[in-house]
Amino acid sequence: MSESILKLAKEGLWSNNIVFSQSIALCPLLAVTGTATNGLGMGLATTAVLMACNALISHGRELIPPEIRIPVFVVLIAMIVTLVDMAMNAWLHELHKVLGLFIPLIVTNCAILGRAEAYASRKPPAYALVDGLMMGLGFTLALVVLGAAREIAGSGTLFANASQLLGQSFAWLDTQVIPEYRGFLLMALPPGGFLMLGFILAGKKILDKRLAQRPIKATAIERSLAENI
Amino acid sequence: MIVPNRENLRRLAGDQWQKLRRQFDDLEALRRRLDYQTYLLAACALIASLLLGIGDLATQGAIARRQAEDLRATLGQVLPPALYDNDVLSNPKLISSAGEATGFDPTEVYLAKKDGEVTAAAFKVLASGGYAGPLTLMLGVDRDGHILGVRVIAHAETPGLGDKVETAKSDWILKFTGRSLDNTSPQGWRVKKDGGDFDQFAGATITPRAVVGGVQGGLKFFERHRQALLAATD
């Protein structure tokens, strides 16, 4: 199991990342990544939903016939998202005020239906849960990276209002990266999200290419990792 | 009359249960049956509705409390605490057929009272004509029709441009304090670009224009219902 956890983590965070590799779920991505804080909140909420959906669907995978799997998945996902929305509104009200608009949007996140279809409906619950966690963390990573890049370029701050999301003890995250910055509005608007996503995707492609050019070293590292496990 | 034999009934139920259980032994065949698929979908929908119902029951009290807290916080910003000694939230007065003036029908007017006398009123106004839909304003007005405070409660304006109507971003909205229909002419109730008294933002005229129009509409609404509101008693 531990070896496959490593594999699932690698896939979710890097090689099969929802945003950077599969290029899906871009609608919520572009909508919320004006700041790194919003990205983090949305990513964590999506991770919770993804794990719950994967676990639930994996448990019922023997019972669900392929002909009606899509409507069943949609009903289950919509139910979980609505429950998360209500629970957040009741018990995490400050966070809900910041993210409230975007929580119902999680329903339309095709990544969740995609993981249910591609992974959870074929694998046992423990694996599906880990897959949900890793894919969710990969999505969170993408949201935070994009949000941070847009926030620094757009307003010169990083993790603005982090204390609203994480509590007063995280107020130190809120930093002014570029002092006296006059702001770059385009980056705060959705087109800026597309532009920044393009730069990040290009950067990842270059990095992947560099890594592929050193195949011997890469496999050597992986082999030694596997032996350690 | 047939007396139901308990032993027989139990055996019958047991047989049925065994039959049902046996069907689940061959999941492959069961999954292909149309009636099974129908029941499964119905069962999923039923369970989902049940859980949502339970979830709603569990959270609705807490959600209502949180929303009341939010409303109280906004009211505290537009009504100076010195003006009232009653629970403003407890007994809002409903003014109907005010839809064209405030955007709400009926409009809930929260009355601030001191020693049983109405000193000020606060109500929500929907300012139409924003860049991305209407803005919801909370307006506080004293008994003579002077503005005590205006706050934008909800909006979808462009971040970095139109969102300067928030107090967190700019103090523009504080400039309304003290204004009334008497001390500002109808011509004055416009942004400077249109020949009025109020600044627009650099690069954003539509949002301030909508807010100015909404505030003026709210004052007109108060003027029309002033006698009825001031005479209100518990």
B70 within domain boundaries: no
For residues B38 and B83, state if they share a domain.
no
For residues B126 and B12, state if they share a domain.
no
For residues B85 and B165, state if they share a domain.
yes
Q: Are B48 and A72 an interchain contact pair (Cβ–Cβ within 8 Å)?
A: no
For residues B53 and B87, state if they share a domain.
no
For residues B219 and B109, state if they share a domain.
yes
The shortest CB-CB distance from A72 to any of B41, B52, B160 is to B41
Confidence check: pLDDT of B198 > 70: yes
What's the half-sphere exposure (Cβ side, CA atoms, 13 Å) at B111?
A: 23
The shortest CB-CB distance from A86 to any of B45, B55, B158 is to B55
B68 within domain boundaries: no
Q: Could you tell me the pTM of the whole model?
A: 0.74
B74 within domain boundaries: no
The shortest CB-CB distance from A65 to any of B31, B48, B161 is to B31
For residues B44 and B122, state if they share a domain.
no
Could you list the residue range(s) of the whole structural domain that residue B16 is in?
Answer: 6-59
For residues B40 and B98, state if they share a domain.
no
The pLDDT value recorded for residue A55 is 94
Whether the CB-CB separation of A185 and A148 falls below 8 Å is answered with: no
Could you list the residue range(s) of the whole structural domain that residue A50 is in?
Answer: 2-228
For residues B98 and B126, state if they share a domain.
yes
Using pLDDT thresholds of 50, 70 and 90, give the confidence band for residue A222: low
Residues B19, B25: Cα–Cα separation, whole Å: 10
Q: Are B59 and A90 an interchain contact pair (Cβ–Cβ within 8 Å)?
A: yes
Could you give the 3-state DSSP secondary structure of residue B166?
Answer: coil
Alpha-carbon gap: B164 to the closest alpha carbon of chain A (Å): 14
B106 within domain boundaries: yes
- C-alpha distances (whole Å) from B152 to each of A189, B72, B74, B134 are 21, 14, 9, 11
Q: Are B40 and A34 an interchain contact pair (Cβ–Cβ within 8 Å)?
A: no
Q: List % helix, strand, coil for chain A (3-state, nearest 5).
A: 75, 0, 20
Using pLDDT thresholds of 50, 70 and 90, give the confidence band for residue A79: very high
B72 within domain boundaries: no
**Number of domains chain A contains:** 1
Exposed, middle or buried by CB within 10 Å (0-12, 13-18, 19+), for A73? Answer: buried
Bridge partners, B48 (sequence order): none
**Number of domains chain B contains:** 2
For residues B225 and B115, state if they share a domain.
yes
Summarised one tens digit per residue, pLDDT across range B80-92 is 888 888 888 877 8
Residues B11, B97: Cα–Cα separation, whole Å: 67
- C-alpha distances (whole Å) from B103 to each of A48, B99, B177 are 38, 5, 22
For residues B112 and B210, state if they share a domain.
yes
A and B: number of Cβ contacts within 8 A: 65
Residues of B engaging A, defined by a Cβ cutoff of 8 Å: 27, 31-32, 36-37, 40-41, 44-45, 48, 51-52, 55-56, 58-59, 62-63, 66, 69-70, 158-161
Q: What percent of chain B has pLDDT over 90?
A: 23
Which amino acid type is present at position A148? A
pLDDT average, residue stretch A42-60 = 91
Summarised one tens digit per residue, pLDDT across range B130-166 is 888 888 899 999 988 899 999 988 887 776 677 788 8
For residues B34 and B101, state if they share a domain.
no
Summarised one tens digit per residue, pLDDT across range B9-43 is 899 999 988 988 888 887 788 888 888 999 999 99
